[in-house]
Amino acid sequence: MSDCIFCEIAVGRSPAAVEYEDERVIAFADLYPIAPVHILITTKKHIPSIAKLASEDESLVGHLVLVAKKLAENRQLEGYKLIFNVGEKGGQVVPHLHLHLLGGWDTKPTSLPA
Ligand code: AMP
Ligand code: ZN
């Protein structure tokens, strides 16, 4: 989708600090980080949100989570949060499926973000 910023990043038409990429997913630094480490892991396929997942996407989403785990290991994060915001009322602003990897705090963070 050409009017989707994450699709544009996935095909290299918009800039991003890419951390990882394969044929199914791409991970890049969040432009407005809310944690010392804040990486977005997104699917290259345009899926608007978790709410629009089809059963055929099951392994893709599993892969997305495993890439997040690998990135956390690479950053040697002892603990981290993985967050999907779902829908406008769930705080989702960019309507393209993405997983937030948040971590790197010195102290224990609150259990849930505001
Ligand atoms: P969400 O609220 O779950 O939709 O999160 C969208 C995230 O995308 C926010 O944390 C934004 O800071 C981030 N974001 C928006 N545009 C860009 C961009 N061009 N490059 C990197 N991150 C972005
Ligand atoms: Zn998209």
**Residue the block writes with tokens 């779902």:** 86
* Tally of structural domains, the chain: 1
Residue 108, in any domain of the structure: no
Ligand 1: distance of its center to the CA of 5 in Å?
9
Give the pocket of ligand 1 (CB within 6 Å): 5, 16, 28, 30-32, 40, 85, 91-94
Single-letter code of the amino acid located at 42: T
**What's the 54 CA to ligand 1 centre distance in angstroms?**
23
Query: What positions carry a catalytic annotation?
Result: 98
Q: Which domain holds residue 58?
A: 5-103
- Residue 26 — pLDDT band, cuts 50, 70, 90? very high
Q: Are 36 and 103 a contacting pair, CB within 8 Å?
A: yes
Ligand 1 atom closest to Cα of 32? 12
pLDDT in tens, 79-108: 999 999 999 999 999 999 999 999 999 887
pLDDT at 114: 52
CATH number of the domain within which 86 lies: 3.30.428.10
Give the closest residue (by CA) to ligand 1 atom 17: 31
In single-letter form, the type of residue at position 41 comes to I
The answer to whether 77 and 103 have CB atoms below 8 angstroms apart is: yes
109 found inside a domain: no
Ligand 2 centroid – CA 37 distance (Å): 23
Would the CA dihedral through 32, 34, 35, 40 be positive or negative? negative
Report the alpha-carbon distance of residue 55 to residue 94 in Å, rounded: 22
pLDDT tens string 38-72: 999 999 999 999 999 999 999 999 999 999 999 99
Q: Kind and range of the H or E element at 21?
A: strand 18-21
